[in-house]
A = this chain, B = another copy of it.
Amino acid sequence: MRLLLVEDDTVLVQSLRKSLQQAGYAVDLAENGIDAEYLGDENIYDVVVLDLGLPQRSGLEVLRHWRANNNTTPVIVLTARDAWHERVDGFKAGADDYLGKPFHLEELLARLNAIIHRSKQQPGGPLSMGDLTLDEERQTLTTADGNSFVLTGTEFRMLRYFLLHPDRILSKATLTEHVYDFDADKDSNVIEVYVKRLREKVGKDRIVTRRGQGYLFRGKAP
């Protein structure tokens, strides 16, 4: 799950970034409006957390720019305490949700969760696909035959990404980008290793290899 964090308060950024990573997001960071706009234009994020008070170019301008260019990535806006007008402006500019600062991490995570689900399928509920169910709260996978697996962080992030993008070819580079927060390291086979581990749990045939292109997760058991 790839997330763009746009925030210039370096103190806040440090803890926030780590917390978001812990919660399973691959976090890119922009500390000013210009970088933010550029990153948002060039990459596909699952969600953006956008502070409105930014140097160089205000968050509002950035958001308007994206929306004008048909970029519909869900955006959660962070506003200063009491700045009610900012929120209204934010919604008008196309924000999907907002959060007043200071906020509690838990709330941000809940909203991120909600917003991502909303944009994918119906909100709430565990992520399930045919005979597989991924419990996001417990990071646990349950299969048709009643087996239950506790997933490690990386396994979980990767399986979640597969479940959210079934029946599509996902290249190793794409998977790396979404499972980690940095770009693909060409000479590493981590992805292969984790595909193997997931296959042991979801069933060998569930993840199909497309040689030279990537992997494909079957939405329905074969």
Contact = CB atoms under 8 A, between A and B. Distances in A.
Interface of A: 14-15, 18-19, 22-23, 81-82, 84, 87, 99-107, 110, 114, 123-124, 137-139, 150, 152-153, 167-169, 171, 173-174, 177, 183-184, 186, 210-213, 216
Given A19-B171, A100-B107, 11 more contacts: A14-B186, A15-B184, A81-B82, A82-B100, A104-B177, A106-B174, A138-B167, A138-B168, A138-B169, A139-B210, A153-B212
Given A110-B124, A138-B168, A152 B103 contact: no
Q: Which of A82, A114, A123, A139 has the most CB of B within 10 A?
A: A82
A22 B213 contact: yes
A174 B82 contact: no
Lowest 9 CB-CB distances: which A-B pairs, in order? A81-B100, A81-B82, A82-B100, A153-B212, A137-B168, A105-B173, A19-B173, A15-B186, A106-B174
A84 B106 contact: no
A152 to B, nearest CB: 7
Contacts of A177: 104-106
Nearest to A21: B212
Contacts of A103: 81, 84, 100
Given A104-B177, A106-B177, A124-B110, A153 B213 contact: yes
Number of copies: 2
30 contacts: A15-B184, A15-B186, A18-B186, A19-B171, A19-B173, A22-B212, A81-B82, A81-B99, A81-B103, A82-B100, A82-B102, A84-B102, A84-B103, A84-B104, A100-B103, A104-B177, A105-B173, A105-B174, A105-B177, A106-B123, A106-B174, A106-B177, A110-B124, A137-B169, A138-B167, A138-B168, A138-B169, A139-B169, A139-B210, A153-B211
A123 B216 CA distance: 24
B105 A183 contact: yes
A138 B170 CA distance: 9
A117 to B, nearest CB: 10
